Each structure stands twice: as structure tokens, then as C-alpha cells.
Structure 1
Amino acid sequence: MKHLTAKTKELVLNSTLEEKISYLRKQKWIPYPQADKIMAKLEDLKNYPTVDRMPNLLIVGETNNGKTALINKFYKKNNPYIREGEYDIVVAPVIVVQAPAEPDEKSFYNKILEMLNAPVIKSENPDFKLRRIISLFKKLEIKLIIIDEIHHVLAGSPLKQRVFLNVLKYLSNELKISIICVGIRDAFNVIQSDSQLANRFETMILERWKNNQSFLQLLINYEALLPLENPSYLTENSIASKILAMSDGLIGEINTILIKAGELALKSGLNKIDHKILDNIDYVSPEDRKKILRRNIL
């Protein structure tokens, strides 16, 4: 079982079928070049010295292509901690908040307060909420605020969009922190709609996967974590091409395919993923799902 990590090999040798399936379904982080580059950029921004015009970042990628997994991984590396001293101080270098379904500043402030475990007072004036947020950010020494699903801003009227974007500018200016916005390609339009913000945001894109060396390395790394006794040789050209075609090049779909295939391989006793296993999993590709939806609508 040279194809497995030591931990996965031990699991294969000593676990029941149910335990293997449970392990298979657990979320895994598998490094890859695009993600490593963005993670390094986030770390750089977290450690950026305080200047009048802080640099910001826009992370763009299609749905189910690893954006949220990436920022959650970064957040876990930068969880709040206690700085010990004469007085123990809680430090939270990074916070992650999801943009509200509509660009409403009060809802946005409430989400931030919830993430900071601070009281949310429904009747409180937005200006007072903002003052509390600024005070908490300074007290907790927050360096980065990551706003996921920033494309939600487009759901509001032009006026609401402008108000929300002004809030982002104010937070960045007042607190001297970097803001990270994350979303689908529409997120680019959100930032570009404000010339001042557009000049402050660098854009990094999570592209769809292609059949190249990075993709093959991803499959090697993933196979090492699959609790399958026999090697699947996922990098063999026909297998790799099949997985890529089924997934439409989206890493979330690749993950789903390999979990479903791994389960079927375990339950069938084959203990490896081959063409037959891939042909028999309960899976519909994103493109086929769109076709089914269009047919049903029509």
C-alpha cells in the first residue's frame, strides 16, 4: 500500500467498513498551486504594515471551485488566541463574514457582531453598531476581514450598493486593515462599479482545472488519502480525463466524485476506483444538471 499515507494505511488495516466510509466523507484539505499562491497572499496582507491606503484583495472563482474551503483553511490557521502577559488578551487576527443576502449595512454590521460574539441589538442605530465594531476591531487587533459571497451586493438597488461599498471603504480607511472580498465572477463587477475601490483591490482568480501536471498532482495527493487497499492509478490518462470531464473542472465536483467512487469501491469489495466504478456512481455533472433543469423549465 505504498500509494497511501501512513495514517491512511493504518486506517485501512485496522478499521471497519463503516469507519472507512466515515473517514472518506470527512472534509480534507489538499494543497495545490493556485490555493498556495492565494494563501501566501493572504498571509502577506495579514502581516502588512499599517499605511494610509491598505491593499485589498478580490478572490474570484466559479461556484464549487474551492473559494470557501480556501478561506476557511486560512481562518483555521489564524484562529483567535490568548496572548499571555500581565493581562491575558484575546487576539483575533482574521474574521470571516458572509455578505448579507442584500447590501444592507445594518444586516452587515449584525453579521460582524455575531462573528465577534458581541450582542446584536435590533433597535440599535447603525452608527452605534459601527462604533462598537470599530472598538472591537481595535481591541482584538484584527488585521483582515474576509467577506464571502460579495456578489450578493448586486441583489440590491444601485443606491444600496453604493451605501454598502462606502461602508467597506470607511472600514478600510478608519481601521487601516485589508479587506478580502470573495465571490463568483459577478464579484468583479461589484468592485469595478466603484472607481476608488477598483483601484485598491488586486484580483486573484481560481480557474477551472485543466488536464495538466497540477491536476495530476492533485489526484496523486487525493489518492493517498482514499482508504482503498488497492492503487487506483487515478493519474492514468483515461481515468484522469474521465474525472476531469465529469467534474467540469471544478474542485468541489472532483471531491464529490472521488468520495462517491471511493464509497462504491469499498462497498463492492474492489477497493480501487476504475472506469466501471466511475460509470456506476450516483452522480450528474454540473453541465448535465443545467440541461435537466432547462428541459424541466421548458
Structure 2
Amino acid sequence: MGYDHVRPDREALLDLDVESRIKLMLGDIWVDIAPSESVFKVMNNMANVPKRITAPALLVTGLGGTGKSAIVKEIPNRVTRSEGLLTISMASDPDLMKRKEFRTEIYQKLELPCPPIHRKSSVADLVTRELSEILKLRKIWGLVIDEIHDMLLCGKVEQRINSSMLKAFLGESYGISLFAFGTPKANSFISAITETQRRFSVIELEDWKEDESFRTFLLGVEELLPLKRSSRLYDQDKVFAILAATSGRMDNVMNLIRSAGCYALRDGTEAISLEHLAKASASPWGF
């Protein structure tokens, strides 16, 4: 049996048993798509900017589930000199029952003690000599902040601290580029930092719609699925079914296809049908 519908480097996976392939089906996969490629292109161009008075900055916005965190996860594989990127997430930790502090996250990421601050703390108090030295020692040229909109949840004093630190990092002394990812609310955070607003380029991630880009994406997804037969997810009837069930939201699309693929493995058909998509929509974990 030929497996032309599967990427050559994935063909060996088809020899695994059903249970093993279900585990693979439920795992994360990455498909190159135009929106994410735009993000990586901008980041790589910014990585090559020589030091100047203010470093470049990028804001990537999208509603929850549009794939922002997946892009952040892929950055080490797609951005030049990624070892010089400092990546933090401001997403609230439900286990800690409290929101994160930007300053604390920076210091912890670099394994440094976070000094106490007060209302009149200067930039030198916020960005200590130890922090400054380790940033230069590790040749940190970029700061990646996921879920940056959560920085809006803090009080005025902490917002001033966050603003001061970001301005310092973007300034001539450090020249650290900023790559921020968040919901549309992140625009409010950037607007609050009036001096830095003009420095940001913005890329908006949108939901999928019925077009050639979505069909190309579905083709790329199918090439990675551990199914022995072609599902032709890009056919019009399946495209409409997927969009109807997910409203085009990236996370929903991927979860639907994963579940439908598991149904196809369980019943031995080895290809996703409209029936599988309907079952996956009605009962995602019922396979």
C-alpha cells in the first residue's frame, strides 16, 4: 500500500499498532502556516538589526486559541540566535492562586534573587547591576513575553515598574528587542506605555475561514497524521464541516481533527470521514 498522503519522514509511524498511533494522534504537531511564518520572518529580521537608540518590538495578538502559544513554543526552532532569547509567560498559575509579577519572572528565569522594591524605586533598583551583567554575559538580545495581557491585572505601582523595566530593556543601554504575545487586550497595555507604543509592529492572528490558505493548512496537517489512508480533509464538504464545528479557531480545529483521527483508528477505517468529524464534535473523548 502506498502512503503518498503522509510525509516521508512519518511513514514509519504507520507500522505501529493502533494504541501507539492514537497516542501520536493526540500529541502536538506543527504545520508551517502563513501567519506564523510572518511572525518568524519579522523576528529574524529584527534579530539582525544593529544596536540603535531604541530596539525594535513586535506585538502578536489574537483571541484565545488562535495559536499564539504554539508559535512561542516553535520560536527556538525557527528564529536565528534563539539561545539569546529570554522567554517568560505571564499566564496566571492556578496552582499558586495568584498572578505573576513581571520583575520576579525575569529574575527567576535568570536564576537571580529578586530585590525588594518600593514606590520610589529607580530604574537602577529595578534592573540591578547583577541583572545587567548577566544579560550581557548571556548575550540576551530579545525578550519573549507570552500572555502579556495578564500584565494589565496589576496595580498602578506595578504597572509603573513594568513600564520602566520594558523601557530600560528597549533603550540604548541594553538594546533588547521585545516580542510580545497576547489577546487584543494587550493593545491597551502597549497604549499605557505611550513612549513605547510607536516602537511596536503588530501582527494580528485571525480565525480560519474557507479559503486556499485553510485548505493548504489541512493538507499539511493530514501529511502528519498516522493514518494509512488519505482523509482529504481539504475537500469542500470536510472544510465546511470543520469550520462549522470549530468556527475556525485554531485550537478547536486541531482538537477536532485529533479526535476524529482517533475515531478513524478505533474503527479501522484509517481515514477521517464526515461521520468521524460529527462524532468528534459531539463527543471529543468518546473514541
Equivalence for 1:112: 106
Indicate yes or no: 2:53 matched with 1:52. Answer: yes
Equivalence for 2:120: none
Equivalence for 1:4: 6
CA distance in 2, matches of 1:38, 1:100: 21
Equivalence for 1:20: 21
Larger mean Cα displacement after TM superposition, 154-163 or 57-66: 154-163
**What letter matches 1:6 in structure 2?**
P
Indicate yes or no: 2:127 matched with 1:134. Answer: no
Runs of 4+ aligned residues of structure 1 deviating over 6 Å after TM superposition are none
Please tell me whether the aligned partners of residues 47 and 80 of structure 2 are also in contact (alpha carbons under 8 angstroms).
Answer: no
* Post-superposition offset of 1:250: 1.4
Q: Match of 1:175, SS?
A: coil
* Post-superposition offset of 1:206: 0.9
Indicate yes or no: 2:119 matched with 1:125. Answer: no
**What letter matches 1:209 in structure 2?**
W
CA distance in 2, matches of 1:210, 1:232: 20
**What letter matches 1:59 in structure 2?**
V
Equivalence for 2:250: 251
Please tell me whether the aligned partners of residues 46 and 93 of structure 1 are also in contact (alpha carbons under 8 angstroms).
Answer: no
Please tell me whether the aligned partners of residues 102 and 151 of structure 2 are also in contact (alpha carbons under 8 angstroms).
Answer: no
Equivalence for 2:74: 73
Over the residues paired in the alignment, what is the CA RMSD in angstroms? 2.4
Identity %: 24
Q: Match of 2:35, SS?
A: helix
Task: Please give the per-residue CA displacement for 1:224-248, whole angstroms capped at 9, x wherever unaligned.
Answer: 1111111111111110111122122
Equivalence for 1:268: 267
CA distance in 2, matches of 1:76, 1:146: 14
**Cα distance change, pair 5–249 in 1 and its aligned pair in 2 (3 A):** same
Equivalence for 1:223: 222
Please tell me whether the aligned partners of residues 75 and 96 of structure 1 are also in contact (alpha carbons under 8 angstroms).
Answer: no
Q: Which runs of 5+ in 2 are unaligned?
A: 118-124
CA distance in 2, matches of 1:107, 1:128: 13
CA distance in 2, matches of 1:278, 1:49: 50
Larger mean Cα displacement after TM superposition, 71-80 or 16-25: 71-80
- Pick aligned residue for 1:167 from 141, 165, 182: 165
CA distance in 1, matches of 2:91, 2:267: 45
Equivalence for 1:214: 213
Task: Please give the per-residue CA displacement for 1:51-108, whole angstroms capped at 9, x wherever unaligned.
Answer: 0111111110111111111121113445989xxxxxxxxxx31111113659x9x932
CA distance in 2, matches of 1:249, 1:221: 16
CA distance in 1, matches of 2:151, 2:243: 32
CA distance in 2, matches of 1:136, 1:219: 44
**What letter matches 2:154 in structure 1?**
G
CA distance in 2, matches of 1:131, 1:177: 16
CA distance in 1, matches of 2:87, 2:80: 11
**Cα distance change, pair 212–78 in 1 and its aligned pair in 2 (3 A):** closer
Please tell me whether the aligned partners of residues 3 and 224 of structure 1 are also in contact (alpha carbons under 8 angstroms).
Answer: yes
CA distance in 2, matches of 1:74, 1:176: 20
**What letter matches 2:260 in structure 1?**
A
TM-score, length of structure 2 as denominator length: 0.86
- Pick aligned residue for 2:142 from 144, 148, 154: 144
Larger mean Cα displacement after TM superposition, 204-213 or 155-164: 155-164
TM-score, length of structure 1 as denominator length: 0.83
Q: Match of 2:101, SS?
A: helix
Please tell me whether the aligned partners of residues 8 and 227 of structure 1 are also in contact (alpha carbons under 8 angstroms).
Answer: yes
CA distance in 2, matches of 1:51, 1:58: 19
**What letter matches 2:103 in structure 1?**
Y
CA distance in 1, matches of 2:23, 2:9: 15
Equivalence for 2:90: 99
Please tell me whether the aligned partners of residues 148 and 181 of structure 2 are also in contact (alpha carbons under 8 angstroms).
Answer: yes
**What letter matches 2:192 in structure 1?**
S
